[in-house]
Copies of this chain bind each other. A is one copy, B any other.
Amino acid sequence: MEEVENKQVILKGYVDILPNESDMEIKVSKIKLKAPKGSGAFLVKNLYLSCDPYMRGRMRKIQAANYLFLPFVPGQALEGFGVSKVIDSDNPDFKPGDLLSGFTGWEEYSLIHKTEQLRKIQAEDVPLSYHVGLLGMPGFTAYAGFFEICSPKKGEYVFVSAASGAVGQLVGQLAKLHGCYVVGSAGTNQKVDLLKNKLGFDEAFNYKEEPDLDAALKRYFSQGIDIYFDNVGGDMLDAALPNMRIHGRIAVCGAASQLGLSMPQGIHNLFNLISKSVKMEGFVQHNYLHLYPRFLEHVIGYYKQGKIVYIEDMHEGLESAPAAFVGLFSGKNVGKQVIRVASE
């Protein structure tokens, strides 16, 4: 069996705080496009790879206790969510031509042994790449966080930070479909424009142009905030706390503002949790996997009815992956960051 070239994105060494492009390198190795007999494995061609902030955690040597994933291995290809097509298989459950969504390598071809976290993609009128975004982990994070943690009611006031990101854009649209008033924050005027004119947010603002975040929130939420979907932590969280309404809920989904700091900023306004009887809850989508089928049904339905859109930032070619990934941490991506490795 002939070997072909297999381009890979390799982790060169562990990262301290934020990743740089120089922490990764493109390497070309060889691979047989064949699943070894008796291995139970199968060989896939990777079509789309997802750049997700959580991957930074796997680039660090020391992991937080209870973290879901092990660190990456320096010298080997990164791993992440992707969309792939089966080329050859020694596993009766996966046949050549099957399209899969789930964990794969940051490389052109991967030999897959672990099948637990893979889903077969059924033919639907949805772009394939959406299976790592709208219909993948970020979309499901939005769905589970909004409905399970925030318990939204029609007419409530909802604030979403990093609102044009992979998660935030769906939170805002789900909130609008649920009958809420929704305001988003983002870090460029282009993103603010998308929030207001493409994603249907009631209002949006560029937090980098607000000298006083508390004043900005009071401007958009004169009645206060019922639900804060927090993707950033830090100053925005501290500003949101005094603006929460009684029985408000804060879904703690991410702390994008804190990732570049060696020590997280202090949050000073937690006493508002008591006086307003506010619930603040962290979560990972993994806890809610039993809701995944319902999520897919709902969101695919909304998408087909034209009630939901999804903005992707699509980079072409595996070579673009390190820069695309690094760009996540300075907000360079506009929408969900995806790498197109190969055409379908």
* Residue A281 CB within 8 A of the other chain: yes
Checking B263, B265, B266, B282 against A274 with a beta-carbon cut-off of 8 angstroms, the contacting residue is B282
Per-residue contact bits, chain A 271-301, to B (CB 8 Å; 1 contact, 0 not): 1111111111111100100000000000000
* Residue A252 CB within 8 A of the other chain: yes
If A279-B279, A282-B278 touch, does A271 touch B233 (CB 8 Å cutoff)? yes
Per-residue contact bits, chain A 283-323, to B (CB 8 Å; 1 contact, 0 not): 11001000000000000000000000000000000000000
Checking B258, B271, B287 against A258 with a beta-carbon cut-off of 8 angstroms, the contacting residue is B271
Tell me the bound Cα distance from A264 to B267 in angstroms: 9
- Within the complex, what minimum Cβ distance (angstroms) separates A127 from chain B? 29
Q: Which residues of B contact A237 (CB under 8 A)?
A: 270
B266 near A276 (CB under 8 angstroms)? no
Tell me the bound Cα distance from A268 to B233 in angstroms: 11
* Residue A1 CB within 8 A of the other chain: no
If A66-B246, A265-B266, A266-B265 touch, does A255 touch B271 (CB 8 Å cutoff)? yes
The number of chain A residues touching the other chain, given as a range, is 35 or more
- Using CB atoms, name the residue of chain B closest to A276: B66
This chain: how many copies in the complex?
Answer: 2
Tell me the bound Cα distance from A74 to B258 in angstroms: 45
Q: Which residues of B contact A65 (CB under 8 A)?
A: 242, 275
A283 near B275 (CB under 8 angstroms)? no
A282 near B287 (CB under 8 angstroms)? no
Q: Which residues of B contact A242 (CB under 8 A)?
A: 65
Tell me the bound Cα distance from A271 to B233 in angstroms: 8
* Residue A269 CB within 8 A of the other chain: yes
- Within the complex, what minimum Cβ distance (angstroms) separates A116 from chain B? 20
A277 near B268 (CB under 8 angstroms)? no
Q: Which residues of B contact A277 (CB under 8 A)?
A: 281-284, 287
Q: Which residues of B contact A283 (CB under 8 A)?
A: 274, 277
Tell me the bound Cα distance from A277 to B265 in angstroms: 20
* Residue A105 CB within 8 A of the other chain: no
Tell me the bound Cα distance from A275 to B286 in angstroms: 11
* Residue A78 CB within 8 A of the other chain: no
If A266-B265, A268-B266 touch, does A280 touch B276 (CB 8 Å cutoff)? no
Per-residue contact bits, chain A 250-262, to B (CB 8 Å; 1 contact, 0 not): 0011110010000
Q: Which residues of B contact A279 (CB under 8 A)?
A: 279-282
For the A-B complex with A263-B268, A265-B268, A267-B267 known, give 17 more contacts whose Cβ atoms are closer than 8 Å. A64-B272, A64-B275, A66-B246, A67-B275, A233-B271, A254-B274, A258-B271, A264-B268, A266-B266, A267-B268, A272-B282, A274-B282, A274-B284, A275-B282, A277-B287, A279-B280, A280-B280
Interchain residue pairs with CB less than 8 A apart (6): A233-B271, A255-B271, A264-B268, A267-B268, A272-B282, A274-B282
A interface residues, Cβ below 8 angstroms from B:
64-67, 233, 237, 242, 246, 252-255, 258, 263-284, 287
Please list the 6 inter-chain residue pairs (A to B) with the smallest Cβ-Cβ separation, ordered nearest first: A266-B266, A273-B282, A274-B282, A279-B281, A280-B280, A252-B273
